[in-house]
């Protein structure tokens, strides 16, 4: 990892687009990234500076509908932190100031307060894994995240599916796909 | 004035090059001068796919040519073995496709490779439908289906099938253009001005009590209830096989693939059964499946009565037609599990004709697969077994 300040580092444009793709599809994601960059006055190449990544995600997160849902979820998950080698939350005040020179970015909407049962979370992966493996995987990852059942907040439910999506092999692939469906049903 | 859809189907036998030439002649004659935009071929191992597509590719002009090896081929006229059948689509469609390799080792990369450079939208064509053809011996059918769906976005219907090899379980092949390969995936995008119809149905019921996968690696189930998987499968199905006049103790290695596909695994998934196909027995008594089977999976071995198989095939066609919103079907692509043929035998042809009848007598072509793919908006799983998948064109 580069020793440059995290905001001055870059990630590949395809990585940024890939964060949104499970929910929006790659082409649509790329289109939204390009449009947001254009609105921000950011010239997009194959690589995107982290400060611009954060600004683009902020702008998309303020959008209505599925685009906003997808971007807000990217903002709260750890994958972007890993990608840029720093905690996004620690960079945010500075990035907001440097990345939105012309227009203020509306704050993301408050997260939903709805509760989701463990059983319902499991049903997002059960069609591919079967009920028994689905319930077992949800219980295991909830425990690892210290989320106590039988219900979870919408945010914790998304974290459980996100943790499952990091598992190698079939469970990870199924959970990654299910997460996109979950976000559609329970938008933030 | 929109260009009307025309669909032609054909089936041929004989030497591969001659069969390919016969297909071309028949398809073009039936299209009556309408230029095809898509040609799909389904070929038995007796008609090597690489040779078929090498002959056909130059002949189909600018049409996209896709293909898969099979465990049986059929058109609306009936089914065959050792043959090659084809489906040609002409009309107001835009079709694009790509092929990805190293499917077993790197499925996500293979999917990205297949999609690389494909347009995801075409102005004026508001509907898009994906076709996925894959090598099931890579053992990751469900994973590849969901990876593809993730890349295409959550609102795009996806259909397709897992290639076969006449129950040899040795080498299954898919093709795109003039290129045929195993350990590969082909992804096509059909852009249309009207919605295509997608219908799915299976007719299996549980045979065994609940069983548990107690040791597995990816798609290989080593132990069930703490015992070698193969032993458990034989034990649970012996009685029913005997009722059909089959003595499992005399089963040859060549017969094992067909046996396993007749008695597949059904996972409890809510009120439904999710069917998973066992493909082959390994030397250590483990069983290889067409997709991952995690440890802890609870399932029952299933079977299906012949009448259920015929009824579910018709139902899949009815559901596909219903999605056309009252417009007549011009024809259909069908992906149907080889197990239906194993169960129905000579009656399989009547199941195929039944599908065509439900589509108003429209032409259809398809193949007997080792796995069927159907994922509509809102679905959470897309890889099926023992299922009929019908893609109807208005």
Q: What are the pLDDT digits (tens) for B261-309?
A: 889 999 888 777 888 989 999 999 999 998 889 999 999 999 887 888 8
| Among B253, B273, B303, residue at a domain's last position | B303
Output the average pLDDT for chain B. 93
On the question of pLDDT at B67 being above 70, the answer is yes
Which range of residues forms the domain containing residue B257? 205-303
On the question of pLDDT at A99 being above 60, the answer is no
Based on the fold, state whether residues A126 and A92 are members of the same structural domain: no
Q: Where are the alpha helices (DSSP H) in B298-337?
A: 306-322
Residue B350 lies in a domain: yes
Of A7-21, A73-87, A90-104, highest mean pLDDT: A7-21
| Among A48, A68, A99, residue at a domain's last position | A99
Q: Does A14 touch chain B (CB under 8 A)?
A: no
Convert the pLDDT of each residue in B209-254 to its tens digit: 999 999 999 999 999 999 999 999 999 999 999 998 899 999 999 8
A-interface mutation test, from B96, B145, B276, B292, most A Cβ less than 10 A away? B292
Based on the fold, state whether residues B77 and B112 are members of the same structural domain: yes
| Among A99, A124, A144, residue at a domain's last position | A99
Based on the fold, state whether residues B151 and B214 are members of the same structural domain: no
What is the C-alpha end-to-end distance of chain B, expressed in Å?
A: 16
Interface contact A25-B153, CB threshold 8 A: yes
Consecutive H or E run containing B6: strand B6-12
Chain A residue with CA closest to B266: the answer is: A130
Which carries the bigger pLDDT value, residue B12 or residue A106? Answer: B12
Give the per-residue pLDDT at A105.
34
Based on the fold, state whether residues B76 and B147 are members of the same structural domain: yes
On the question of pLDDT at A6 being above 50, the answer is yes
Distance CA B297, CA B216 (A): 10
DSSP code for A113: -
* Of B385, B326, B332, the residue nearest B363 (C-alpha): B332
Residue B298 lies in a domain: yes
Phi, psi of B154 (to 5 degrees): -75, -10
Chain A residue with CA closest to B105: the answer is: A169
On the question of pLDDT at B80 being above 50, the answer is yes
Based on the fold, state whether residues B260 and B319 are members of the same structural domain: no
Interface contact A126-B269, CB threshold 8 A: yes
| Among A99, A130, A152, residue at a domain's last position | A99
Give the per-residue pLDDT at B105.
94
Based on the fold, state whether residues A143 and A76 are members of the same structural domain: no
Residues of chain B numbered 103-132 and touching chain A (CB < 8 Å): 107, 115, 119-121
Residue A127 lies in a domain: yes
Interface contact A27-B121, CB threshold 8 A: yes
Interface contact B296-A184, CB threshold 8 A: no
* Of B260, B279, B290, B287, the residue nearest B142 (C-alpha): B290
Give the per-residue pLDDT at A93.
46
Residue A110 lies in a domain: no
Based on the fold, state whether residues A27 and A93 are members of the same structural domain: yes
**How many other CB atoms are there within 10 angstroms of residue B60's CB atom?**
23
Distance CA B80, CA A93 (A): 68
Residue B293 lies in a domain: yes
Residue A1 lies in a domain: no
Based on the fold, state whether residues B365 and B277 are members of the same structural domain: no
Chain B residue with CA closest to A66: the answer is: B154
How far lies A152's CA from each of A133, A140, A142, in Å?
19, 14, 9
Residue B223 lies in a domain: yes
Chain A nearest-CA distance from B268, in A, is 5
| Among B303, B335, B353, residue at a domain's last position | B303
Distance CA B261, CA B311 (A): 19
Which carries the bigger pLDDT value, residue B207 or residue A20? Answer: B207
Convert the pLDDT of each residue in A143-177 to its tens digit: 999 999 899 999 999 999 999 999 988 999 999 98
Q: Does A25 touch chain B (CB under 8 A)?
A: yes
Give the per-residue pLDDT at A35.
87
Based on the fold, state whether residues B232 and B363 are members of the same structural domain: no
DSSP code for A8: G
Residues of chain B numbered 150-189 and touching chain A (CB < 8 Å): 150-154, 156
B-interface mutation test, from A128, A131, A185, most B Cβ less than 10 A away? A128
Residue B170 lies in a domain: yes
**How many other CB atoms are there within 10 angstroms of residue B209's CB atom?**
9
| Among B270, B303, B336, residue at a domain's last position | B303
Which carries the bigger pLDDT value, residue B142 or residue B41? Answer: B41
Give the per-residue pLDDT at A2.
52
Give the per-residue pLDDT at B376.
84
Count of domains in chain B?
A: 2
Based on the fold, state whether residues B169 and B109 are members of the same structural domain: yes
Average pLDDT over residues A70-83: 73
Report the residue from A27, A128, A176 with minimal CB separation from B142. A128
Q: Does B25 touch chain A (CB under 8 A)?
A: no
Distance CA A109, CA B78 (A): 58
Q: Which token pair is B350? A: 């009547």
Based on the fold, state whether residues A85 and A45 are members of the same structural domain: yes
Residue B1 lies in a domain: no
Q: Does A12 touch chain B (CB under 8 A)?
A: no
Q: Which token pair is B151? A: 């890349």
Give the per-residue pLDDT at A111.
44
Based on the fold, state whether residues A17 and A86 are members of the same structural domain: yes
Residue B227 lies in a domain: yes
Report the residue from A130, A177, A178 with minimal CB separation from B297. A130
Long-range contacts, stretch A92-101, CB < 8 angstroms, 24+ apart? A92/A54, A94/A7, A94/A51, A95/A7, A95/A50, A95/A51, A95/A54, A95/A55, A96/A54, A96/A55, A96/A58, A98/A7, A98/A51, A99/A40, A99/A51, A99/A52, A99/A54, A99/A55, A99/A58, A100/A40, A100/A55, A100/A58, A100/A59, A101/A41
Average pLDDT over residues A111-138: 87
On the question of pLDDT at A107 being above 70, the answer is no
Interface contact A22-B150, CB threshold 8 A: yes
Contacts of A181 in chain B (CB under 8 A): 154, 378, 380
Chain B nearest-CA distance from A175, in A, is 10
Distance CA B71, CA B49 (A): 13
Chain A nearest-CA distance from B50, in A, is 31
Which range of residues forms the domain containing residue A156? 115-185
Residue A133 lies in a domain: yes
Based on the fold, state whether residues A41 and A123 are members of the same structural domain: no
Based on the fold, state whether residues B140 and B220 are members of the same structural domain: no
User: What does R_g of chain A's alpha carbons equal in angstroms?
Assistant: 17
Percent of chain B predicted with pLDDT > 90: 77
* Of B153, B157, B275, B277, the residue nearest A128 (C-alpha): B275
Interface contact B151-A23, CB threshold 8 A: no
Based on the fold, state whether residues A133 and A75 are members of the same structural domain: no
Q: Does B58 touch chain A (CB under 8 A)?
A: no
Based on the fold, state whether residues B26 and B78 are members of the same structural domain: yes
Convert the pLDDT of each residue in B94-115 to its tens digit: 999 999 999 999 999 999 999 9
Based on the fold, state whether residues B254 and B312 are members of the same structural domain: no
Convert the pLDDT of each residue in B143-194 to its tens digit: 999 999 888 876 789 999 999 999 999 999 999 999 999 999 999 999 999 9
Q: How confident is the model at residue A121 (pLDDT cuts 50, 70, 90)?
A: very high
Of A71-85, B34-48, B337-351, highest mean pLDDT: B34-48
Based on the fold, state whether residues B298 and B284 are members of the same structural domain: yes
Of A44-48, A112-116, B358-362, highest mean pLDDT: B358-362
Based on the fold, state whether residues A134 and A88 are members of the same structural domain: no
Based on the fold, state whether residues B92 and B164 are members of the same structural domain: yes
Based on the fold, state whether residues A69 and A40 are members of the same structural domain: yes
């Amino acid at each position: 990892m580069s020793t440059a300040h995290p905001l001055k580092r870059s990630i590949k444009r395809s990585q940024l687009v890939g964060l949104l793709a499970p929910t929006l599809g790659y082409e649509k994601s790329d289109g939204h990234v390009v449009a947001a960059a254009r609105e921000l006055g950011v010239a997009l190449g194959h690589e995107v500076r982290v400060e611009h990544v954060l600004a683009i995600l902020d702008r998309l997160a303020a959008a209505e509908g599925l685009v906003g849902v997808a971007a807000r979820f990217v903002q709260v998950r750890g994958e972007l932190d890993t990608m840029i080698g720093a905690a996004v939350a620690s960079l945010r005040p500075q990035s907001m100031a440097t990345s939105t020179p012309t227009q203020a970015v509306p704050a993301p909407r408050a997260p939903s307060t709805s509760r989701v049962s463990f059983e319902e979370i499991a049903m997002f992966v059960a069609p591919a894994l079967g009920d028994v493996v689905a319930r077992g995987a949800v219980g295991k990852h909830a425990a690892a995240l210290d989320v106590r059942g039988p219900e979870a907040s919408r945010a914790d439910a998304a974290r459980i599916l996100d943790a499952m999506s990091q598992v190698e092999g079939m469970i990870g692939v199924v959970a990654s796909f299910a997460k996109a469906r979950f976000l559609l049903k329970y938008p933030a | 004035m929109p260009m009307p859809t025309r669909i032609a189907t054909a089936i041929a036998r004989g030497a591969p090059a001659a069969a390919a030439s016969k297909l071309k002649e028949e398809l073009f004659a039936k299209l009556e001068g309408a230029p095809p935009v898509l040609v799909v071929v389904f070929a038995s191992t007796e008609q090597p796919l690489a040779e078929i597509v090498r002959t056909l590719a130059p002949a189909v002009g600018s049409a996209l040519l896709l293909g898969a090896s099979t465990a049986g081929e059929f058109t609306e006229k009936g089914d065959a073995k050792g043959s090659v059948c084809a489906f040609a689509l002409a009309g107001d469609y835009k079709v694009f496709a790509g092929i990805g390799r190293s499917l077993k080792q790197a499925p996500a990369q293979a999917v990205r490779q297949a999609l690389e450079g494909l347009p995801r939208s075409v102005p004026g064509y508001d509907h898009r439908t994906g076709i996925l053809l894959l090598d099931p011996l890579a053992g990751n059918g469900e994973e590849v289906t969901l990876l593809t769906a993730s890349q295409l976005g959550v609102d795009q219907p996806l259909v397709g099938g897992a290639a076969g090899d006449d129950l040899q379980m040795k080498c299954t092949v898919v093709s795109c253009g003039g290129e045929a390969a195993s350990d590969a995936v082909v992804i096509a995008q059909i852009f249309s001005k009207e919605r295509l119809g997608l219908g799915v149905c299976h007719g299996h019921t549980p045979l065994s009590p609940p069983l548990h996968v107690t040791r597995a690696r990816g798609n290989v189930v080593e132990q069930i209830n703490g015992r070698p998987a193969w032993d458990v499968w034989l034990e649970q199905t012996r009685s029913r096989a005997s009722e059909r006049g089959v003595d499992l103790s005399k089963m040859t290695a060549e017969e094992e693939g067909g046996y396993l596909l007749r008695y597949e695994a059904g996972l409890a998934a809510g009120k439904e059964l999710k069917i998973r196909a066992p493909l082959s027995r390994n030397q250590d008594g483990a069983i290889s499946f067409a997709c991952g089977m995690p440890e802890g999976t609870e399932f029952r071995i299933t079977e299906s009565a012949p009448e259920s198989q015929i009824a579910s095939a018709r139902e899949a066609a009815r559901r596909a037609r219903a999605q056309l919103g009252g417009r007549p079907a011009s024809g259909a692509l069908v992906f149907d599990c080889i197990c239906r043929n194993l169960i129905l035998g000579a009656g399989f042809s009547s199941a195929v004709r039944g599908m065509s009848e439900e589509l108003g007598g429209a032409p259809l072509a398809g193949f007997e697969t080792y796995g069927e793919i159907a994922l509509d908006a809102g679905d959470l799983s897309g890889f099926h077994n023992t299922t009929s998948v019908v893609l109807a064109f208005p």
